[in-house]
Structure 1
């Protein structure tokens, strides 16, 4: 992430607004057909297809240690990580905004599951936002 003036996608997960670096995002979709993965980790919501390519869906709520919400219609923020497509399921994908600062370490504990998944914060026109770590979300809550 380039820091000052970098573009951020503001998302909401488990009632909290956070940010993802927009430069890593391919698109935001509403997954239609999701195929469950038997015996997969809890944060692995399933598989879907995106333009004939497999898309691994990661439930960000579960990755943070929260219970998944079955009744919601989440958005999938599509990112490429290590050559594979992932859809990060968030409660809301809100807007693209500019960062007004560079990522900084957290000064306080953000609470339940957030410290490992969002180890930094970044200033924006909307105020400070937790900056989600894409690799940590994909790895899930049990990764070391």
Structure 2
């Protein structure tokens, strides 16, 4: 489980997204709300001619909403041929992590985080390895 990850912050937690899954990193501007969409759908946007659904990851995980004045960033990924912008608090660096740094979920990790991550990497702090497929599948299943 070694590899390169784009690091992001969400509610103070450090997360890693495999770099090969990341298509774009962008500052989110105004999103167009979608009537009757699940709460986790923050809206949609046009990105180079493609309609991208913005997913509020905080909402998906049951975290408190971000301060409306705080800027948010989007990590654009593709799942099942559809682009999604994962709305996060901040984007960090790309880090290379050795396999010996990987561990299974700690017993104290909340069920919400456990459901959408593959495990943790011990860096200067714990970095949860985000599983995009499970994040989107779980959120969409709750919305149905």
Residue 34 of structure 1 pairs with residue 42 of structure 2: no
Instruction: Classify 1:143/1:39 alpha carbon distance in 2 versus 1 (closer, same or farther; 3 Å).
Output: closer
Q: Contact between 1:100 and 1:123, CA under 8 Å: does it hold in 2?
A: no
Give the structure with the larger helix fraction.
Answer: 2
8 Å Cα contact 1:19/1:132 also seen in 2? yes
CA positional deviation for 1:105: 2.5
Deviates more, 1:100-109 or 1:53-62: 100-109
Residue in structure 2 matching 1:79, options 63, 77, 80? 77
Structure 2 counterpart SS, 1:23: helix
SS at match of 1:113: helix
Unaligned runs of 5+ in 2: none
Shift of 1:122: 2.8
How many pairs align?
140
Native 8 Å contact 1:106 1:120 kept in 2: yes
Q: CA RMSD in A?
A: 2.1
Partner of 1:48: 45
Structure 1: 4+ residue segments shifted above 3 A? none
- Residue 104 of structure 1: how far off its partner (Å): 3.9
Distance of 1:71 and 1:117 partners within structure 2: 27
Relative to structure 1, is the Cα distance of residues 26 and 84 closer, same or farther in structure 2, using a 3 angstrom cutoff?
same
For the Cα contact (< 8 Å) 1:109–1:115, is it kept in 2? no
State the alpha-carbon separation in 2 of the partners of residues 127 and 68 from structure 1. Answer: 24
What SS is found at the alignment partner of 2:34?
coil
